Chain A
C-alpha cells in the first residue's frame, strides 16, 4: 500500500498556525499513513469542534488552494475514485451531537459526526427509528451515510435517504454556511438542497447538520426466507410478491457461485396482520423458513464487504441498479462475465438495487467488472464500483453519467469553483 501512496505536500506554516488558532493545537495533527485516502496521502488532519470552526478551516484551506477530504467514521472512504489531490482531512468526529429529538413530531436533528447507531438509540427511546438500514451503523456517521447515499433493504418501503432527510446544513468551500429544508416533513419552500448533497460524495460542501423524519418502530417483525431452484424462479417470486397485496417492508434475493438463490421477505406490523400475511406468503412461495427474531438475512449486505479470512486484498464490490424485473437477467450477466476462477455473490433488493462481490485476482476481476458495466449500461442500469483491490485503481468507479454531466460540472463550479472538496472522486472527474 505504502508504495502507491502519493507523497504528501508540505503546507505553509502560517496556514497551520491559523488552523490551530481556530480549533486549538490539540485538534490538529500530522496525517498518518493510516489516514491515506485510496492511495493519496494527506498532510494534515483537523478535527473542528463546531460547524463554525469547520467552515472557517474550510474557507482557509480553500483560499490556500488545498484539497480537502471530509471524513466521518471513515467506513466508506475508499468508495469513489481516488482523489486527485489530498492535503487536509476535515473530520466531523467532534461535531456529533443529537441536537433535538422531537419525538412527538417524528423528527430528529443531528450533527454530521453523529453515528447512525447513536441516532437510532436516541430514536428508539421513544419507539422510533430512522427507517434506513445503513452499513456499519456503529461507526458510520450521518454525514458519511448521506454523502454516499447508502441505503439497505428497508428502502423498498420507506424510500432512500432522499426521502428521509428533510433539512440540511452545509459548509461550502468558500466558508458559506447554508441551510435548506427544515424540521417539518412537508415543505416546498425553495430548492431541495438536501437531495442535491445526498450522494454528492462531499464534492459540493461538507454536511454539518441534518434533520430526518422518523418512523415508528414496528410492533412485530418477521422474516420469511424461501429457497428457490434457480434465479428465474427467485425473480418470479419477487415479482409475484411485489404484485400482491402484501405490505412487506423488505424483499431481497441472495445468490452466488456457492449459494442457491434465496428470497427473503420482511414483514412488519401487528401480530394479527403478520399471521395473515405469512399464511398468504406461504401459499405463494411453497416451502419457506420463518425467522422470528434475529433477522440474520438482513445483514447479508454488510457481510458482502467482509474481509477474506486471510485478510487478503483480493475482492471487489460493486453496487448495481437494474429494473426490478431484470434482477435475474443481471445475475445471469454476472455469472457470464465472471470467469470460472472467480467466486461471486449477490444481494439484490426488489427495488432493483443490488450488490455484487467478486473474489479473485485483480487481473481477472477488472475485465469482468468492465464487461459487466458495458452490459448493464446498455440496459439502462449502472454498476458503481465501491470496493476494489489495489491493482484496480485505474478502473473508473462510476461509469457513464449520461447527458447531464455538463450540468453537474456547472453545479460543481458554482459550489466549489477551485475544486477544493474531494477533487476527482466523483463522476466525470468532479
Chain B
C-alpha cells in the first residue's frame, strides 16, 4: 500500500484513528479463534457512518480488501484480517441512538455491547433476547454478522429474529437501508440475508433491534442424571409433552468438573446435568415446572434442584457460560467445536463421539444447547505432546462430519468464517454454494468485503451461472440433498 493511501485514510479518521505500527497491529491479527493469524496492513477506527463510507470508497477505488471487526470475540475466524487488507474496527461507534419503549425498538451503532442494550432498557423491564455466552463483551455489529445465538434462542430465536432494520455501507461505499422500524418493507428481505453473512456483504453501521418484555417469572431447574442418554430422553419427553422452555442446556461429566473447578457453581457431580429454564406468567410456569420435575424423575434424575433466588440462578448460569474457558482448568489446550444435529440423533452421535474420542486417545467434554440440538464438543489436548494438536483437529473435524451425516449443520452459532469453509462443500452441493454466491456478486462484485471467508472457492462474479449438476455423492446414491 502506498503512503498516499495511508495519508488519505489518516485524513478521514484522524491520526488517532489509524493504526499502522507493527506492535499495535498484532492486537488485531486474530479474533477468538487464535490458531489463524494474519497481520493487516492497517487498522482504521472510524467514529461515524460517513467515515466508514469514505474508508470503503478508498478501498474500492484501490481494490484493497477490508474486514470489519467488532469486539473480536468470534470463534470461527470471521474477523481474521486478509493479506494486504485493512481492518475496520467499529468499537468507536458505540452509541445507543434511540430507545422507543412503546414500539419496543432500540437503535444502536454496531460497536454497542450486547449486554448494554439490556442494561439500557432494564428499568422498563425489557431485555434484548439473544444472549451469546460472550454477551458482556461482544458487539451487536458482530452479532449481526454472525447471527449469534445463545442459550435462550430455543424460545426467543436468534439475532436475525430481533433485528428489524439495518443501515449498511456496501463495498462500493454507497449507503443502503434494509428493513426498517415497521415490518415487511416492500421488496426482497435483504436484511434477512445480510444477518449472518459474516461481513461478506458490507458493513452494518446502524441497527434497529427489537426488545422483549421481561416475563412475569423465571425458574431454573437443575437435574442430575446418570448419563447423557437419560438426560437426552428427558429432553425428548419435554418437547414431546408440548413444552417450549426458554432454555435447555446439557453438560457432561467432564464439562461439569471443569465448570466446578473454574467458578464453583455448586453443580452435583454426575454423568450429565440438565439445566431447564421456564419463563412466563407465574401460574403457567408453576404448572409446567411440576411437569418438568416429573419428567426428570421418570428418566432417572437422582437430584433435582430449583434455584431459589436470582443469585442462585445467576450462579447456575455462570457455570454454564464459563464452560468453554473452564476447560483451561483441566487441559492445557482445547478446541471449541460447534455443530448441530436433529435432537433425536443425540444418543447416536454421543456414542460415536465417545468412540472417536477413545480411538484418538483424546478427551472430549460436551456442552450442548440440548433443546435445539446445538452441540459444543470441546476436544482437549496438549500442544506440547507431538502429534496431539493434529489429532485433536482431526477429531474435531470428524465430529462435524458426524453432524452432517446425522442431517445437521457444521455450525449453529459460531459461523463458518475461515475455520469451516472447507466443510461447506461437505454440507452443500456446488449448485447450492454457487447460488449463495450470486447474492455475494450482487452486493460486492469485486469481493472486497471480508473476502476468502465462508465459501471454499470464491466465484468470479463475471462467471456465467452454471446449471444444475448432481453432486457426485448424490449420483452415487450416498447422499441426498438436504
Chain A residues close to B by CB (< 8 Å): 55, 59, 102, 104-107, 109, 127, 149, 159-160, 162-163, 167, 169-170, 172, 174-180, 182-193, 195-196, 198-200, 204, 209, 211, 215-219, 239, 242-247, 269-270, 272-273, 275-277, 319, 321-325, 351-353, 380-382, 384, 398-405, 407-408, 410-411, 413-415, 417, 426-428
What 5 A-B pairs have minimum CB-CB distances, sorted nearest first?
A: A195-B192, A273-B284, A216-B242, A178-B435, A245-B216
Cβ A399 vs Cβ B186 within 8 A: yes
Cβ of B240: which chain A residues have Cβ within 8 Å of it?
Answer: 104
Contact A407–B176 (Cβ < 8 Å): yes
List, sorted by A's number, 26 A–B pairs whose CB atoms are closer than 8 Å: A104-B236, A104-B343, A106-B239, A107-B342, A172-B465, A176-B467, A184-B340, A184-B407, A186-B372, A186-B409, A187-B412, A188-B146, A191-B193, A191-B196, A192-B147, A192-B195, A192-B197, A198-B192, A218-B242, A244-B213, A270-B283, A321-B185, A324-B102, A381-B182, A408-B190, A413-B442
Nearest CB of chain B from residue A82's CB, rounded to whole Å: 16
Which of A175, A245, A384, A401 has the largest count of B CB atoms less than 10 A from its CB? A245
Pick the residue among A196, A407, A410 that contacts B189 (CB under 8 A).
A196
Q: When A179-B428, A242-B104, A273-B283 are in contact, do A105 and B344 touch as well, CB less than 8 Å?
A: yes
Stretch at the interface among B24-32, B156-164, B255-263: B156-164
B439 touches A411 (CB 8 A): yes
Contact B186 A200 (CB under 8 A): no
Give the chain B neighbours of A247 by CB distance below 8 A: 215-216, 280-281, 284
- Kindly report which residue of chain A lies nearest to residue B178, judged by CB atoms: A404
Question: Does chain A have a CB within 8 A of B184?
Answer: yes
Q: Please, which residue of chain A has its CB at the minimum distance from the CB of B165?
A: A380
For the complex, give the distance between the alpha carbons of A226 and B196 in Å: 41
When distances are taken between beta carbons in the complex, the residues of chain A under 8 Å from B146 are 188
CA distance A374 to B197 in the complex (A): 34
Measured between alpha carbons, how far is A105 from B195 in the docked complex, in Å?
25
Within the assembled complex, what's the spacing in Å between the Cα atoms of A270 and B241?
12
- B411/A272 in contact, CB under 8 A: no
Determine if B215 and A188 form an interchain contact, defined as CB atoms under 8 angstroms apart.
no
Question: Is B427 within 8 A of A189, CB to CB?
Answer: yes
Inter-chain contacts of A405 with B (CB < 8 A) = 187
Q: Give the complex CA separation of A414 and B463 in angstroms.
A: 11
Chain A residue at minimal CB-CB distance from B280: A247
| Most chain B CB inside 10 Å of its own CB: which residue of A169, A188, A270 | A188
| A104-B104 Cα distance, complex, nearest whole Å | 34
B441 at the A interface (CB under 8 A): yes
When the two chains form the complex, which single residue of B187, B280, B441, B482 contacts A183, counting CB atoms closer than 8 Å?
A: B482
B287 within 8 A of A: yes
CB of A245 within 8 A of CB of B373, answer: no
Q: Do A189 and B407 touch (CB < 8 A)?
A: no
Bound-state Cα–Cα, A239 to B196, Å: 32
Within 8 Å CB of B440, what residues of A? Answer: 191
Contacts of A277 in B (CB 8 A): 281, 283-284
Closest A residue to B160 by beta carbon equals: A192
Distance A164 CA – B30 CA, assembled complex (angstroms): 35
Within 8 A of A (CB), among B238-253: 239-240, 242-244
Q: Decide if B482 touches A109 in the complex (CB within 8 Å).
A: yes
B283 & A188 in contact (Cβ 8 Å cutoff): no
Docked Cα-Cα span, A382 to B304, in Å, equals: 52
CB distance from A214 to the nearest CB of B (A): 10
Q: Which residues of A contact B103 (CB under 8 A)?
A: 323-325, 352
Residues in A neighbouring B379, C-beta threshold 8 A:
none
B175 → chain A closest CB, angstroms: 7
Which of B342, B420, B466 counts the most chain A CB atoms within 10 A? Answer: B342
Tell which of B149, B412, B429 has the most Cβ of chain A within 10 Å.
Answer: B412
A401, B186: Cβ atoms closer than 8 Å:
yes
Query: Are the CB atoms of B182 and A216 closer together than 8 Å?
Result: no
Residue of B193, B197, B427 contacting most chain A CB atoms (<10 Å): B193
Q: With the chains together, A8 CA to B175 CA distance in Å?
A: 42
Q: How far is the CA of A219 from the CA of B288 in the complex (A)?
A: 12
A189 pairs with B343, CB closer than 8 A: no
CB 8 Å contact bits of B452-472 with A (1 = contact, 0 = none)? 001000000000011110000
Apart from A184-B409, A404-B190: 11 A-B pairs, beta carbons within 8 A? A179-B428, A179-B481, A180-B435, A186-B369, A187-B408, A187-B409, A192-B160, A276-B281, A319-B184, A323-B181, A405-B187
Docked Cα-Cα span, A167 to B408, in Å, equals: 12
In the complex, residue of chain A having the shortest beta-carbon distance to the beta carbon of B369: A186
Residue of B nearest to A204 (CB): B188
0/1 per residue, B430-443, Cβ < 8 Å to A?
01111110111111
Whether the pair A189, B410 counts as a contact (CB closer than 8 A) is yes
Complex alpha-carbon distance, A172 and B244, angstroms: 37
- Residue in B186, B372, B434 whose CB lies within 8 Å of A384: B186
Tell which of B176, B287, B415 touches A272, judged by Cβ atoms closer than 8 Å: B287
Q: How far is the CA of A427 from the CA of B185 in the complex (A)?
A: 11
Residues in A whose Cβ lies below 8 Å from that of B282: 276
Closest to A51 in B: B481
Tell me whether A162 and B189 are in contact (CB under 8 A). yes
| Contact status A275-B183, CB under 8 Å | no
Using Cβ atoms and an 8 Å threshold, which residues of chain A touch B443? 407, 410
Q: Which residues of A contact B190 (CB under 8 A)?
A: 196, 404, 407-408, 411
Contact between A323 and B182, CB atoms less than 8 A apart: yes
Q: Mark B132-168, 1 if CB is under 8 A from A, else 0.
A: 0000000000000011010001000110110000000
Contact: B409 with A270, CB < 8 Å? no
| B372 engages A403 (CB within 8 Å) | no
List chain A residues, Cβ under 8 A from B300. Answer: none
Q: Are A352 and B410 interface neighbours, CB within 8 A?
A: no
Contact partner, B442, options A218, A246, A411, Cβ 8 Å: A411
Give the residue of B342, B344, B438 whose beta carbon is less than 8 angstroms from that of A415: B438
Q: Choose among A107, A216, A245 the residue that contacts B215 (Cβ–Cβ < 8 A).
A: A245
Alpha-carbon gap, A254 to B340, bound state (A): 43
Choice from A169, A190, A272, A426 contacting B482 with Cβ under 8 Å: A169
The one of A199, A216, A407 in contact with B243, judged by C-beta atoms closer than 8 angstroms, is A216
Residues of A within 8 A of B177 (CB): 402-404
CB neighbours of B183 from chain A (8 A): 160, 321, 351-353
Given contacts A175-B467, A324-B103, contact A245 B281 (CB under 8 A): yes
Given contacts A185-B373, A352-B182, contact A410 B424 (CB under 8 A): no
Contacts of B192 on A, CB cut-off 8 Å?
162, 192, 195-196, 198
